[in-house]
Amino acid sequence: MTNNSIYVNPLCDRYASKEMQEIFSNDNKFITWRKLWIALAESEKELGLDITDKQIAQLKAKATNINYDVAKQRELEVRHDVMSHVYAYGVQCPDAAGIIHLGATSAYVGDNTDIIVMRQGLLQVKKLLLNTIYALYKFSDSYKSITTLAYTHFQSAQPTTVGKRATLWLNELLMDLESIDNTIDNLHLLGCKGTTGTGASFYELFNGDYEKVKTLEKLIARKVDFVKVASVSGQTYSRKLDYMVLSTLSKIAQSAHKFAGDIRLLSHLKEVEEPFESKQIGSSAMAYKRNPMRSERICSLSRFVIVNAENPAITSASQWFERTLDDSANRRISIPQSFLAIDGILSLYINIISGLKIYPKIIEKHLNEELPFMLTENILMDAVKKGGDRQELHEVIRKHSIDTIRSIKEEGKDNDLLERLANDSSFNLTQEEMKTIIKNPNISGCAIIQTTEYLENEIKPILEKYKDLLGCDIKITV
């Protein structure tokens, strides 16, 4: 059977990076299982159980050499993945076979590994997110002075700047960064709670010494680089943690979808263009097309992540008492795939914003087409200063605006509202005064100042704090 004759997950084949795939690989999973078994044995030995240095040395010698063939064959017989790997490890370490997994239940390796791997995934996402923030920071700073139309309801509103608009995208990513940090800080190791969370097997092993049961968890946590262990649990950690993690990924997907949606709209206006390779084909039928396909892909993958966050919500709600197993198959799919999709999303985000082409002349053209309407308030105020009646002048502007819009839409004419107003004696403004109003340098309000302050006061300190995480090699394969 060839690779082309079986289904291949496109998240791995097309979108996610090698780094994220390695985090959720079988090697990382089962090597972590073995690290946890070693941590358990070492800690039990330190607390007085009859485990030898020779046994632990044997376990360590085979920690990364997984005999998958033995484990797979064993699972066909016993239908239990953890016990299959306990057996396979014991085959490699015959002197230690009797003390592997001593006192533990399946969740000891399964759940603790899931927590460890999710933290690794979140740290990788954090690195990508910080590099996205850095790319947006440079973009916003470069274009903070280019005036452009702002839109409400995708209808022309008041001017802003290209850089100021980018701070809106940045601000959402800043919220996501805070959410990631909170999530990482609240990931507690399950520890070794036993079959129903009471620690009964370890209580028995240590002859009723509760302090040793508690110390055992602390020792194990320290060996796998965790500080906090769940205070109480059933056999498994609360599945609400999975929802917390995937909700954080969903927030990032929401931010990315909004960014990509804006880029798609701006691409339609021909004001921006995402990176387009020299031999890239935009359409099989229309050779001239330059579709914003990477932004569209962000939206597509983001929808998947947003919807996928419902999986752990339902799982958390439907857990019975101290544990059920209806969560297992779902979690094997939903958790890794959300991480793989977010990895692809942020890689695309960095690629797009780093190579986004801006067309100032088109931006200026669109601005000038709508500018006369936007300047009417300034004209009104200046006319009032010269003795005009505000209400009467407002009505004059309204009528001229309606006539102008009609001529634009019905006759395809240019926007001549300013000429109409300049020629209306009601305003008592000379041509020179009208030109002065039109050339008002503050047309985009505080946009440039706001952008400068935001980048300096809120973004730069974060980039400085995490400067060691900046810089990543992004590869977009399709």
Write down the catalytic residue from 153, 231, 278, 284: 153
Provide the pairing of β-strand 147-152 with 155-161: antiparallel
For residue 389, the SS3 value is coil
Rounded Cα gap, residues 186 and 241, in angstroms:
9
Residue 119, both tokens: 């933290």
Task: Count Cα atoms within 13 angstroms, Cβ side, for 394.
Answer: 4
Give the 3-state secondary structure of 442-478.
Answer: CCCCCHHHHHHHHHHHHHHHHHHHCHHHCCCCCCCCC
**At what angle are helices 328-355 and 106-142 packed, to 10 degrees?**
20
Tell me if residue 42 falls in helix, strand or coil. Answer: helix
CA distance 33 to 40: 11
- Cβ neighbours of residue 293 under 8 Å, at least 6 residues apart? 274, 282
Query: Is the Cβ–Cβ distance between 19 and 124 less than 8 Å?
Result: yes
What value, to the nearest 5°, has the Cα angle with vertex 383 and ends 381 and 387?
A: 110
Say whether 229 sits in a helix, a strand or coil.
Answer: strand
Residue 121 CB partners (closer than 8 Å, separation 6+):
20, 23, 24, 339
How many angstroms separate the first and last alpha carbons of the chain?
26
Catalytic one among 80, 142, 283, 318? 283
Let me know: does 377 contact 393? Beta carbons within 8 Å. Answer: no
Cα–Cα distance measured from residue 208 to residue 219, given in angstroms and rounded to the nearest whole number: 18
Can you give the C-alpha Rg of the chain in angstroms?
A: 31
A 10 A CB-CB count for 137 gives 20
Separation of alpha carbons 287 and 284, rounded Å: 7
CA distances from 332 to 152, 188, 320, 328, 456 (A): 42, 20, 19, 6, 42
H/E stretch holding 273: strand 272-273
> Is 85 assigned a catalytic role?
no
Residue 277's SS3 state is: coil
Active site (annotated) includes residue 80? no
**Catalytic annotation, residues:** 153, 283
